[in-house]
Chains A and B, each alone.
Chain A
Amino acid sequence: MRDLKKEDRLVSETISINDVHHIATLARLKFEETEAEKIKDDLNSILGYMEKLNELDTTNVKPTSHTLDIFTVTRPDETRPSLSNEEALANAPQAENAHFKVPKVIE
């Protein structure tokens, strides 16, 4: 038997420094050790506060992702004006031959 209905409870775990670096990797961010410590403490404090939600039994409650009853919106699949190549590239840090240019991907 499971001791926690996992889908209905926040998991009380403390975030470690390794967790911080793992999450940072997922988010493509990097933290120096002192910053990572601060982030770790902040996250643990905020997540601790969020455990308050465990007081509520939500087993039979449907989740709300959107407040209004808006259904899938469709439109005719017609060609419409869009940005020109020049406009789309105007803010590119680097562009070449009508493309965005990035540093080498494959060694």
Chain B
Amino acid sequence: MDILNSTLNTITSALESKELSSKELVQFYLDRIDKYDGEIQAYNHVNENAIKQAELIDSKRTKGEKLPKFAGVPIALKDLLITGGMPTTCSSKILEGFTPPFTGTAVKHVEDAGFITLGKLSMDEFAMGSSNENAAFKKTRNPWDTEKVPGGSSGGSAAAVAAGLAPVTLGSDTGGSIRQPASLCGVIGMKPTYGRVSRFGLVAFASSLDQIGPMGKSASDLASLLSIIVRHDVQDSTSAKVEQVDYTKALTGDVKGLKLGVPKEYFQTGLAPDVKKAVDEAIKQYEKLGCELVDISLPHTDYALATYYIIATAEASSNLGRYDGVRYGRRAEADNLRDMYYKSRTEGFGDEVKRRIMLGTYVLSAGYYDAYYIKAQKVRTLIKQDFVEAFKKVDAIICPASPTTAFKAGEKTSDPIQMYLSDIYTLSLNLFGGCGLSVPCGFDSDGMPIGVQLLGNYFEEGSILNLAYAFERETNLPKIPQNLKG
């Protein structure tokens, strides 16, 4: 069977009918990792027990034991998801060699559903970055052109799907870290509503913005995976107390009469012509599918980047205070405790992480707290209000996911603001807290993928997944580059 182009549903059917064994399936992906990951650099760690776990499931299946729905299906995880017994580094030297003694909630749900973890995927260090170039170990490259970046910070999670090194992956999104790399790698990726997926076992970057989400090749796969990880969790005090949903049931393909908002602020200067053209065509496609287009305005869009970088760095500087070399992670040799803190942190963190800790520490420091942090939280209210007003008029919002397609490695590393601008279309959503996804909608003149973004109100994951599903049925774009199909 054509494993690479199969959905999770097709794969599980093949496993259930014993047309395919889990061992064959896992071996298929391990072979591809062997063959291609030297170039793609997506995996920080490959699970050496994956084959054994697959054999165990195969033998249970042979005996006729009842198995969970996705028993024996491979998945790979962003390396900031805590995995008991498997290294978790956040692509940082400060966590090199750290093997957690527990497993996070979302990963636990995925394991309980039968998935086998192929390994841990590279990312920008502590999820800070938009190109995966801030990774300490593996600087993941874009499968469509390995001179170019995959986006970030879930660059490994996006590239692994695009290169066929995992059928589905989990990433995390604080300001666009799932949607931007999904767009740059030509895969589909979703940030669920804040509070939808438990953050217990997600290494914290900015706690009021972070959210775990699924990445894959189809809306159907995303719906399957999301249905598994969406649960209320007593271990996360910000976990939303809402019903569990089977999102696969939302995929009817019928989008007639839905109102799609087109925000004028997302189509102005800075948007690459090829991206604009592809997104405009996607909008036309939705009109053909029966959606009603509504011109809307999100007037505070221009303030989102500044607001985001105050709030996110403030929260990060506080969250990253825990890396002190005492209980886990890297410890530098020093004669006294104070020097040990300084040396462990200075040697352990990379440049961008240090830059953000410094910025966050500054905006939270005495005399500046009100002027920066409180000010940003007030503007956050205005940005949130923009979305609340918009969703009174429309069912979903459509816009680009990234202002450009993938850029060359090294192109933006010297100017932090240029790099931060990569997330200009994604980070407002995190400040609002709703859900959003990027679905592939075309290629630029160099053959690099383009994604269109669909934004939904709180807990409207089902409706934006259905919109993506309806679109995919019309477009049918290639998900894996030709040269990686062998």
Q: Does A97 contact B (CB under 8 A)?
A: no
Q: Pick the residue among B102, B337, B433 that contacts A67 (CB under 8 A).
A: B433
| Contact of A61 with B382 in the complex, beta carbons under 8 Å | yes
Nearest-neighbour CB distance to chain A for B437, whole angstroms, equals: 18
Q: How far is the CA of A66 from the CA of B331 in the complex (A)?
A: 34
| Contact of B354 with A29 in the complex, beta carbons under 8 Å | yes
Q: Does A16 contact B (CB under 8 A)?
A: no
Q: How far is the CA of A10 from the CA of B291 in the complex (A)?
A: 43
- Contact mask for chain A residues 20-34; partner B; CB cutoff 8 A; 1 contact, 0 none: 100110111111000
Contacts of A68 in B (CB 8 A): 193-195, 238, 240, 433, 458
Number of interface residues of B (CB under 8 A): 71
Q: Does B36 contact A (CB under 8 A)?
A: no
Flag the segment in B20-28, B65-73, B243-251, B338-346 that touches A: B338-346
Known A28-B341, A29-B342: A50·B306 in contact at CB below 8 Å: yes
Q: How far is the CA of A45 from the CA of B415 in the complex (A)?
A: 10
Q: Pick the residue among B327, B340, B345, B375 that contacts A91 (CB under 8 A).
A: B327
Flag the segment in B145-153, B267-275, B362-370 that touches A: B362-370
Contacts of A43 in B (CB 8 A): 355, 358-359, 362
Which residue of A has the minimal Cβ distance to B459? A68
Q: Pick the residue among B368, B374, B458 that contacts A11 (CB under 8 A).
A: B368
Q: Pick the residue among B240, B303, B361 that contacts A52 (CB under 8 A).
A: B303
Q: Pick the residue among B331, B368, B381, B417 that contacts A63 (CB under 8 A).
A: B381
Query: Which of B307, B327, B433 has the most C-beta atoms of chain A within 10 angstroms of its own C-beta?
Result: B327
Contacts of A73 in B (CB 8 A): 237
Q: Does A2 contact B (CB under 8 A)?
A: no
Q: How far is the CA of A92 from the CA of B324 in the complex (A)?
A: 11
Q: Does B371 contact A (CB under 8 A)?
A: yes
Q: Pick the residue among A7, A45, A75, A94 that contacts B371 (CB under 8 A).
A: A7
Known A62-B381, A63-B377: A83·B310 in contact at CB below 8 Å: no
| Contact of A61 with B378 in the complex, beta carbons under 8 Å | yes
| Contact of B328 with A92 in the complex, beta carbons under 8 Å | yes
Contacts of A23 in B (CB 8 A): 358, 361-362, 365
Nearest-neighbour CB distance to chain A for B209, whole angstroms, equals: 9
Which chain B residues in 393-409 approach chain A with CB under 8 Å? none
| Contact of B195 with A70 in the complex, beta carbons under 8 Å | yes
Which residue of A has the minimal Cβ distance to B98? A91
Nearest-neighbour CB distance to chain A for B204, whole angstroms, equals: 14
Which residue of B has the minimal Cβ distance to A91? B328
Contacts of B101 in A (CB 8 A): 83, 87-88, 90-91
Q: How far is the CA of A27 from the CA of B324 in the complex (A)?
A: 11
Which chain B residues in 281-306 approach chain A with CB under 8 Å? 300, 302-303, 305-306
- Contact mask for chain A residues 84-107; partner B; CB cutoff 8 A; 1 contact, 0 none: 000110111110000010111100
Nearest-neighbour CB distance to chain B for A52, whole angstroms, equals: 5
Q: Does A39 contact B (CB under 8 A)?
A: yes
Q: Does A17 contact B (CB under 8 A)?
A: no
| Contact of A103 with B336 in the complex, beta carbons under 8 Å | yes
Contacts of A75 in B (CB 8 A): 234
| Contact of A39 with B354 in the complex, beta carbons under 8 Å | yes
Contacts of B378 in A (CB 8 A): 8, 58, 61-64
| Contact of A6 with B325 in the complex, beta carbons under 8 Å | no
Q: Does A56 contact B (CB under 8 A)?
A: yes
Contacts of A24 in B (CB 8 A): 358
| Contact of B326 with A70 in the complex, beta carbons under 8 Å | no
Nearest-neighbour CB distance to chain B for A58, whole angstroms, equals: 4
Q: Pick the residue among B208, B317, B340, B458 that contacts A65 (CB under 8 A).
A: B208
Which residue of A has the minimal Cβ distance to B373? A63
| Contact of B358 with A29 in the complex, beta carbons under 8 Å | yes
Query: Which of A15, A27, A39, A63 has the most C-beta atoms of chain B within 10 angstroms of its own C-beta?
Result: A27
Q: Pick the residue among A26, A46, A67 that contacts B365 (CB under 8 A).
A: A26
Contacts of B410 in A (CB 8 A): none
Nearest-neighbour CB distance to chain A for B473, whole angstroms, equals: 32
Q: Does B357 contact A (CB under 8 A)?
A: yes
| Contact of A49 with B362 in the complex, beta carbons under 8 Å | no
| Contact of B375 with A92 in the complex, beta carbons under 8 Å | no
Contacts of A50 in B (CB 8 A): 306, 309-310, 372
Q: Pick the residue among A64, A88, A92, A94 that contacts B384 (CB under 8 A).
A: A64
| Contact of A102 with B326 in the complex, beta carbons under 8 Å | yes
Query: Which of A8, A31, A42, A104 has the most C-beta atoms of chain B within 10 angstroms of its own C-beta?
Result: A42
| Contact of A104 with B337 in the complex, beta carbons under 8 Å | yes
Contacts of A49 in B (CB 8 A): 305-306, 417
Nearest-neighbour CB distance to chain B for A3, whole angstroms, equals: 14
Q: Pick the residue among A26, A58, A70, A102 that contacts B337 (CB under 8 A).
A: A102
The 4 lowest CB-CB distance pairs between A and B, nearest first, are A67-B433, A63-B377, A91-B328, A93-B331
16 extra interface residue pairs, beta carbon distance < 8 Å, beyond A6-B371, A26-B365: A15-B362, A23-B365, A29-B349, A31-B346, A46-B359, A46-B417, A50-B309, A53-B303, A61-B381, A63-B381, A68-B195, A68-B433, A70-B195, A70-B238, A73-B237, A90-B101
Q: What are 19 A-B contacts defined by CB distance under 8 Å? A: A6-B370, A7-B371, A11-B372, A27-B358, A27-B361, A29-B354, A30-B343, A39-B358, A46-B416, A52-B303, A56-B300, A56-B303, A56-B379, A58-B379, A67-B432, A68-B195, A91-B101, A93-B328, A93-B331
